[in-house]
Structure 1
Amino acid sequence: MPSYTLRQLEYLLAVAEYGSVTGAAGALHVSQSSLSSGISELERAMDLQLLVRHHAKGVSLTEAGERLLVQARTLIEDAQVLEQVAHDLGSAPVGSISIGIFSVIAPYFVPELIARLATTHPDIDARIEEVGLDELNDGVLSGNYEVGFGYDFGHSSQVTLEHLIAVPAHVVVPANHRLAKAKSISLSQLSGEQLVLLDLPYSRDYFVRALRAAGVEIDVAYRSTSAELVRAMVARGMGVALLNLRPAHTQSLEGKSFAILEISDDIPPARLVALTGNPEKLTRRATAVLETARSVQITGMPKIK
């Protein structure tokens, strides 16, 4: 069994952070004598000198102390995770959880997710932040978001992805367009059309790649980072568009109509995914959010089995 305690390691971390016994003791709300005694006991247990005491100038870590500090920090973090797991196993999920979600997906996914959580896990306070895909990836990796939801584009291999919903692409045309009555078209039928492009990283590349694969010469007339604005411009006859998520109606916010057409070409769908960090360190809150997300359905979109 270890001859040191986690409390002694906490003392070492605090001294390293504050550079003095006085500052560390104040931060931990213990007496200076208790902290000094704890550090001395740790040094005896390790048979190492960890600190250099400078008269009237605080303390500094020895080389051995610096190396031990790295492992001590990891050990304390693991102990905190263990404590959280034990707490979660013994109680219903409770508390605040930070959730990142790709801004384009949010209006289609968040309302039902929050409504279901409120019913099944009322003690979870879900805090939603709408972000871009790169911010989402970084936020999950850094731990700023316990759970994220986005498309399966451009994510780090260090992020764990769970596929939830397939989101096939479709074409949006003005209501009076020559193709508006068709149920399904080939992308090659868009040759010569002006394009209103959803100009977001990864989404933009996905649409352009699909059009080029169909041999369509791309003429981008307008760009927008808002899917709602893209549909509004199409409804005004300013071009055609490719999008993934589809609204429950075919009118823009201005009240002008557009038509949604299926694509007969073999285009891989985008996939709505859940993103997490280390799956072994998921809190009970995060697990509850993931379980709830699996039951969320976007109208007209097939679940991934």
Structure 2
Amino acid sequence: MPPDQGDRTSGEGSAELRAPDFSLRQLSYFVAVARHQSLHKAADALHVSAPAVSAAIAHLETTLNVQLFQRRHARGLVLTETGSAFAVECRNLLLQSWDIGSGRLTDSREIQGHVHLGCLFSFAPYVIPPLMRQMADRFPKARLFWHEGHHEYLLEGLQTGAFDLALMYDFEVPSGIECIPLRAAPLQAVLPAGHPLLRRSRLTMRELATEPLILLDLPRTRNYMLSAFSADGVAPRIAHRVYSMTMLLGLVANGHGFSLLNFCPPNTHSRELESTLRTPNLVLAHSHRYRFTRIAAAVGEIVTVLAEELAFRAD
């Protein structure tokens, strides 16, 4: 029987869409190395051997005829410009694959896959634990990986694709990062119990300039806090520089000074500030470069509710 006219193709070879000479598993190995900048760290995270990861990278570079990494003794494996662009495409392809496997095509309500959430360390203890509980109850087949850190760390994670989402403030956010505003987070003065200034409902930066300041000395946070004083034409009296919320709150509680925070944890004493500084917003951020998956959207919905319910002022 002659072939049907509609089955004929022109040109030589098959017109069928064929699979490339590399696998999704090899792409996942590459993305892991790109994230960790180390074969051994990527292998540990993937629970496979380092030679298997090395072989996958070598196969990709040979098949694609490109150099994906530069091997540097001091810094490990650093993405080339081509490798960086390829890492974005690979991550989006892997995320899309997870979306297909999670039942999207059959309208299944059973969401699978994994999501990496970054959260500002100051309020992470009040968001991450209830989020983990709700995730386990509502999406038992999904996996949540959480990361806490300071503002600079979260921005870097969003830009490199280490984090799918980040709960943070919206100051000095570069282009390419979309921020969904959740609520205003005005700057507040945190004071020791019994401090005379607690008798006031609102305070000025000039009133605080003579008090000993406990400065949270972290990238971007430091400059933001100090700009609150310079915006009102006064200079702070820095008594201590700290690098953790635990030390900051401990020093304040023991009467060694006051501090400035946008979020005041429970059992602290704070007052609103009269300042010309722009009030930042608490936002849920993600990068435009990377695919937004079903599981990321589901986590975002839960985080949004938890953030809205969070008490930003303790008293």
Q: TM-score of the superposition, structure 1-length normalised?
A: 0.68
Listed as ranges, the gaps of 5+ residues in structure 1 are 18-26, 29-58, 251-258
Partner of 2:310: 299
Secondary structure of 1:7's partner? coil
Structure 1 counterpart of 2:170: 152
**C-alpha separation between the residues in 2 aligned to 1:172 and 1:76?**
46
Deviations 1:259-298 (A, max 9, x none): 3112133443332222223377212111111111121134
1:131-150 mapped onto 2 (5 Å cutoff): 131-150=149-168
Change (3 A) 1:268 1:158: same
Per-residue CA deviations over 1:155-184 (Å, capped at 9, x if unaligned) read: 331222222232211112222333122121
Shift of 1:225: 1.5
Aligned to 2:262: 244
Alignment of 1:1-305 (within 5 A): 3=15, 5-10=17-22, 66=65, 80-88=94-102, 89=104, 90=106, 91=108, 92-250=110-268, 259-278=269-288, 281-296=291-306, 297-301=308-312
**In 2 relative to 1, CA 78–272 (structure 1 residues): closer, same or farther, beyond 3 Å?**
closer
Q: Is the 8 A contact 1:104 1:227 kept in 2?
A: yes
Indicate how the Cα distance of structure 1 residues 77 and 274 shifts in structure 2: closer, same or farther if over 3 A, else same.
closer
Q: From the superposition, tell whether residues 6 and 211 of structure 1 become closer, same or farther in structure 2 (CA, over 3 Å).
A: farther
Cα–Cα, structure 1 residues 245 and 298, in superposed 2: closer, same or farther, change >3 Å?
farther
Which deviations, in whole Å up to 9, do the C-alpha atoms of 1:206-243 show, x marking residues without a partner? Answer: 11111122222211110112223222212222222111
CA gap of 1:60–1:114, structure 2 versus 1, over 3 A, is closer
Residue pair 1:109, 1:298 contacting (<8 A) in 2 also:
no
Runs of 5+ consecutive residues of structure 2 not aligned to the other structure: 1-8, 31-54, 69-81
Q: State the structure with more CA Rg.
A: 1
Query: What letter corresponds to residue 227 of structure 1 in structure 2?
Result: M
Q: Is the 8 A contact 2:176 2:289 kept in 1?
A: no
DSSP-derived class of the 1:294 partner:
helix
Distance 1:142 1:109, change over 3 A: same
Q: Do the aligned partners of 2:216 and 2:243 also contact (CA within 8 Å) in 1?
A: yes
Task: Calculate percent identity across the aligned residue pairs.
Answer: 26
Q: Which residue of 1 aligns with 2:50?
A: none
Deviations 1:89-109 (A, max 9, x none): 133212332222222231232
Pair 282,218 (structure 1): closer, same or farther in 2 beyond 3 Å:
same
Q: Distance between the aligned counterparts of 1:232 and 1:60, measured in 2?
A: 56
Distance in structure 1 (CA, Å) of the matches to 2:89 and 2:205: 56
Cα distance in 1 for residues equivalent to 2:90 and 2:196: 66
Cα separation, partners in 2 of 1:119 and 1:266, compared to 1, 3 Å: farther
Give the distance between the partners of 1:78 and 1:229, measured in 2 at CA.
40
Tell me the matched-pair count: 249
Letter in 1 for 2:282: L
Taking structure 1 as reference, are residues 85 and 264 closer, same or farther at Cα in structure 2, changes over 3 Å only?
same
Q: Is the 8 Å Cα contact of residues 234 and 241 (structure 1) preserved in structure 2?
A: yes
Relative to structure 2, which stretch is displaced further, 284-293 or 269-278? 269-278
CA distance in structure 1 between the partners assigned to 2:167 and 2:111 by the alignment: 20
1:125 deviation in Å?
Answer: 1.9
Q: State the Cα distance separating 1:249 from its structure 2 match.
A: 1.5
Query: CA 1:129 to 1:6, structure 2 compared with 1: closer, same or farther past 3 Å?
Result: farther
Mean Cα displacement is larger for which, 289-298 or 116-125? 116-125
Report deviation, 1:78.
Answer: 6.4
